[in-house]
With several copies, the nearest count.
Chain A
Amino acid sequence: MISFSGVTKQYRGTTKPALDNVSLNVDKGEFVFLVGASGSGKSTLLRLALKEEKATVGEIFILGQDVGAISSRKVPFYRRKLGVVFQDFRLLPNKTTYQNVAFALQATGKSRGFIQEAVPDVLKLVGLTGKEARMPHELSGGEQQRVALARAVVNKPAVLLADEPTGNLDPMTSQGIMALLERINAGGTTILMATHDTMIVDRMNKRVVELSAGHIVRDDEHSTYGGI
């Protein structure tokens, strides 16, 4: 599903690579935590998977596609097959819950009829039924992240990339988001999630990949944050 082989990424103007000869395989339906200190390269790995950046060396295959070989014209079509969530939600502040989710579908050229069916469904999935007309600032952090999740999964992507999706949330709210992610994962979506949150990793008991200064230093099934 996701395969990195010998991937190195060096940002222009830096001396040390952000990722250094990383190889990683994630199978269909897996739930993988990406952990590591700040600056260890977690976000860089996700950005490469999204083709927001190009790998300096190495090959990345996602959903059977050679990510490095996708022409810039094809990138949007590739990204539609992925879902993404970020720490800072990235909602449009002047659009309601419904519009924020619908926007992602409009932008990918979906028909009005499809949008009118899909959006309420996904909002129900994330538990936001009744809050369709709220603006982002009228929602709590956890609710905003649910909107972002709804937007990410409304296209039914096979892969969901999450970069510290609970970073701005308190433990209770984080719990709710993780439960939701687990449900999405149970539906067959492969999830790759970067996080700092020890508690979450420890409770979930999933595969953990640890990065340190751009190297993978640990890759354990059913592990905890600090555990071996």
Chain B
Amino acid sequence: MWSMIREAGAGLRRNLSMVISIVLVTFISLTFVGAAILLQMQINQMKNYWYDKAQVAVYLCTGYEQAPLCPDGKVTDEQKTAIEATLKSEELAPLIKEYFFEDEATAYKNFKEQFSGSDVATYVEADQLGQTFWVSLVDPSKSEVIAQAFSDTAGVSSVKDQRTYLDQIFQVLNGASLAAIGVAVLMLLCAVLLISTTIRLSAFARRKELGIMRFVGASNLYIQTPFVLEGIASALFGSLLAGGALVLVVKYFVRDYLVTAMPYVSFIQISDALIVWPVIVGFGVLLAGFSSALAIRRYLRV
């Protein structure tokens, strides 16, 4: 076993520039694989945090709306009672998990918090924000029903499903992770090609020794193991680097920068990156093992 590791080490030194290339390519490819995984984790995190909390807002008229929305001005108490009755109606009640009423004061408090530091906060007054029924649905994807139910109701200015905002963000994040996967797939293809070329070069350099091994009856496993180890070792180094890079990105970019810049968004933790690290390393090692085993098997088949 020890002699096999030594053989593998000698092989790596022989093809140094190839090995550096493999390390770099696996590093980049697995970093992108990891980035894609982390982006998906981020999406899930945001979904968990926001998606189920995402409610349908039934905005009531404030009196400040543009012409066609609220012809009767500010919502009256009768209108409010009617709206609440609709929410409790046979038609809608089974769809609704719960709803609550937000009055103007609470809305203003939330708004101030959300936009603190922005100019908008200084322009807006409590009575402009108006009152809202926040509706949580049993099946959050059925928001259309609520929108239709209140489309012509007096005193309702508009119905908004918060999920539509989130879906846009998720779309962008999904696009980014697809792009990362695209780069990763190309680079992984490249890594496989490089690993198999390196293994063949290594086998070619040792062809005399391999010939001797074969006629003294060395088993295929004994012959092939150093080559597979060689492939794995170079990929291992690249994948360790990739995992490290991801942890650093999460630490310095996500936790230190983004978390400060966007305090209201829930971001992935360093612990998430630490989970991804072994996944990536395992993936890189498996990939390298398979491609070098395949390459050496094809080379040694006579």
- The yes or no verdict on A and B being binding partners is yes
Interface residues of A (CB under 8 A from B): 50, 52, 73, 76-82, 84, 90, 92, 103-104, 106-109, 151, 155
**Are the CB atoms of B209 and A92 closer together than 8 Å?**
yes
**Are the CB atoms of B212 and A90 closer together than 8 Å?**
yes
Question: Residue B219 at the A interface, CB < 8 A?
Answer: yes
Complex interface: chain A residues within 8 A of B213 (CB):
107
Complex interface: chain B residues within 8 A of A108 (CB):
216-219, 222
Question: A76-B214, A107-B217 are known contacts; what are 6 more A-B pairs with Cβ within 8 Å?
Answer: A52-B302, A76-B217, A77-B219, A90-B211, A92-B208, A151-B216
Interface of B, helix, strand, loop or mixed by DSSP? helix
Interface size for B (C-beta < 8 A) is 16
Which residues of chain B in 185-235 are interfacial with respect to chain A, using CB atoms and an 8 Å cutoff?
208-209, 211-220, 222-223
A92 to B222, CA, bound (A): 17
Complex interface: chain B residues within 8 A of A79 (CB):
214-217
Question: Residue B3 at the A interface, CB < 8 A?
Answer: yes
Shortest Cβ gap from A80 to chain B (Å) = 4
Shortest Cβ gap from B219 to chain A (Å) = 5
Complex interface: chain B residues within 8 A of A151 (CB):
216
A109 to B217, CA, bound (A): 10
A174 to B71, CA, bound (A): 116
Complex interface: chain A residues within 8 A of B220 (CB):
73, 76
**Are the CB atoms of A52 and B3 closer together than 8 Å?**
no
Complex interface: chain B residues within 8 A of A50 (CB):
215
**Are the CB atoms of A84 and B215 closer together than 8 Å?**
yes
Q: Output the nearest chain B residue to A83 by Cβ-Cβ distance.
A: B216
A90 to B91, CA, bound (A): 90
Q: Output the nearest chain A residue to B222 by Cβ-Cβ distance.
A: A107
Q: Output the nearest chain A residue to B216 by Cβ-Cβ distance.
A: A104
Shortest Cβ gap from A64 to chain B (Å) = 17
